[in-house]
């Protein structure tokens, strides 16, 4: 399980240099519209977000940019599953928010400020430019009472 430290850490520190380079390159390849410095920053924050998912019971969700990193990582299923079990002791599911056509009420998404606060509390450095307020993604990590919540 991930433990917080008194010194802030990077999300990048949670994976090998080889995996970090491979995933960053994939983000750059799949999103050529991004500035060249953004793919590793996005991935670093996606990893910090996932590391925070391992230790928080609060519902949190990624920014649009961080969601790009999460989507890239989750498509590498073997690496992602191993990471989740090593960091969280469980699989961290990616749950899209319901659409208006779904037969369930639309929940209020987690505010970016709550997510950023949780990431800092978990001991990670926050790259504020990747967590823009207007860029909340339409998905959350599956918490707040579901079967893989760290409190349930």
Question: 78-112 pLDDT, tens per residue?
Answer: 999 999 999 999 999 988 766 566 555 545 567 89
Name the residue ranges covered by the structural domains of the chain. Answer: 11-141
**Which residue is associated with the tokens 């920053």?**
41
At 17-27, the pLDDT tens digits run 999 999 999 99
pTM > 0.75: yes
Residues 6, 11, 16, 17, CA torsion sign: negative
Q: What is residue 141's three-state secondary structure?
A: strand
pLDDT band at 132 (very low <50, low <70, confident <90, very high): confident
């Amino acid at each position: 399980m991930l433990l917080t430290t008194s010194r802030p850490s990077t999300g990048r520190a949670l994976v090998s240099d080889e995996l970090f380079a491979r995933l960053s390159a994939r983000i750059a390849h799949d999103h050529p519209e991004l500035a060249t410095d953004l793919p590793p920053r996005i991935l670093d924050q996606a990893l910090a977000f996932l590391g925070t998912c391992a230790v928080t019971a609060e519902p949190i969700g990624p920014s649009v940019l961080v969601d790009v990193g999460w989507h890239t990582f989750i498509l590498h299923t073997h690496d992602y599953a191993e990471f989740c079990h090593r960091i969280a002791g469980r699989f961290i599911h990616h749950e899209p928010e319901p659409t208006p056509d779904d037969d369930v009420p639309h929940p209020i998404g987690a505010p970016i400020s709550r997510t950023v606060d949780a990431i800092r509390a978990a001991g990670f450095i926050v790259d504020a430019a990747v967590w823009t307020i207007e860029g909340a993604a339409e998905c959350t990590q599956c918490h707040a009472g579901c079967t893989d919540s760290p409190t349930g």
